[in-house]
């Protein structure tokens, strides 16, 4: 039971970079059945309802997102009993070329600490030339209005899904991302499922390595685009880490958060 929960180090990686790439999540035969269903999708289910009650049980996709590895991934990041938000098979047809299209899904999501996740299932082998989804690690603390960032191309440390069938990318909904050109003669699907938390996202992951000093280095990751803003980004990550790990006094480096909290005017009142 709970053999597949994320470690604290993996959770810290998610806090710092806003995504994880996990291969071997869905077996090949189930992937083939999922691909057939993606091409015959009937739209959103009942938005905002219990995932367990809403997500179908008698389909391949119903099975795929109920595999123990996937369930415990959701449990670690969101909740053991999350809400269904929406899903969508994203098709990039054979030969379709894409121009600049960096954007953020989450237009009005300014909740502090809380975050939704999106699971991107790549059910077919996804070589570079088929155009797997790209994302910019670490951008999930930069709230923008959907496509106002379309002009941002070739950002440092941009990554994209190049992976075997059965890989899931799980990402904070606020990560900047987009679709890429499909240079092959095969249609490409990325199947997206978004889910929401209903309880505080605190210590849902495996905390047995919570005191590993490597966590500080992970949170401090420099993706490349941050440049002069890296300290600012680190502060946002530390704030979220304090929350999800239930360590309100956690801090790093030059103790930026303590400086903010130190307010002589309040102390003198």
Give the binding site for Fe ion (CB under 5 A): 105
Rounded least distance, CB 249 to Fe ion, Å: 36
CA angle 90, 93, 99 (to 5 degrees): 80
Rounded least distance, CB 186 to Fe ion, Å: 21
User: Do residues 162 and 88 lie in contact, with contact meaning Cβ atoms separated by under 8 Å?
Assistant: no
Q: Which tokens hold the place of 223?
A: 């993706």
Rounded least distance, CB 15 to Fe ion, Å: 21
C-alpha R_g of the chain: 19
Rounded least distance, CB 178 to Fe ion, Å: 8
122 or 243, CB closer to Fe ion? 122
122 or 241, CB closer to Fe ion? 122
118 or 201, CB closer to Fe ion? 118
90 or 255, CB closer to Fe ion? 90
Nearest residue to Fe ion, by Cβ distance, number only: 105
Count Cβ neighbours within 10 Å for each residue of 208-239 and write b for 16 or more, e otherwise: eebeeeebeebbbbebebbeeebeebbbebbb
Rounded least distance, CB 151 to Fe ion, Å: 17
Cα–Cα distance list, 8 to 13, 87, 135 (Å)? 9, 28, 23
105 or 129, CB closer to Fe ion? 105
């Amino acid at each position: 039971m709970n053999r597949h929960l994320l470690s604290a180090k993996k959770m810290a990686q998610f806090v710092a970079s806003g995504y994880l790439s996990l291969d071997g999540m869905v077996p090949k035969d189930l992937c083939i059945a999922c691909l057939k269903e993606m091409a015959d999708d009937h739209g959103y289910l009942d938005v905002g309802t219990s995932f367990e009650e809403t997500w179908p049980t008698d389909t391949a996709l119903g099975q795929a997102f109920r595999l123990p590895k996937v369930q415990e991934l959701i449990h670690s990041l969101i909740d053991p009993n999350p809400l269904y938000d929406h899903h969508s098979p994203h098709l990039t047809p054979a030969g379709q070329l894409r121009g600049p299209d960096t954007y953020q899904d989450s237009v009005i999501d300014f909740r502090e600490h809380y975050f939704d996740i999106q699971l991107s299932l790549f059910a077919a082998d996804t070589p570079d030339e088929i155009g797997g989804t790209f994302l910019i690690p670490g951008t999930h603390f930069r709230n923008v209005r959907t496509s106002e960032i379309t002009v941002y191309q070739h950002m440092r440390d941009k990554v994209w899904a190049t992976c075997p069938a059965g890989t899931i990318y799980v990402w904070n909904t606020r990560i900047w991302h987009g679709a890429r050109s499909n240079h092959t003669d095969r249609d490409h699907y990325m199947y997206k499922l978004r889910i929401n938390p209903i309880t505080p996202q605190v210590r849902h992951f495996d905390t047995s390595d919570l005191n590993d000093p490597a966590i500080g280095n992970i949170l401090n990751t420099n993706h490349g685009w941050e440049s002069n803003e890296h300290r600012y980004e680190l502060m946002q990550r530390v704030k979220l880490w304090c929350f999800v790990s239930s360590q309100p006094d956690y801090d790093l480096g030059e103790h930026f958060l303590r400086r903010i909290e130190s307010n002589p005017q309040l102390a003198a009142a």
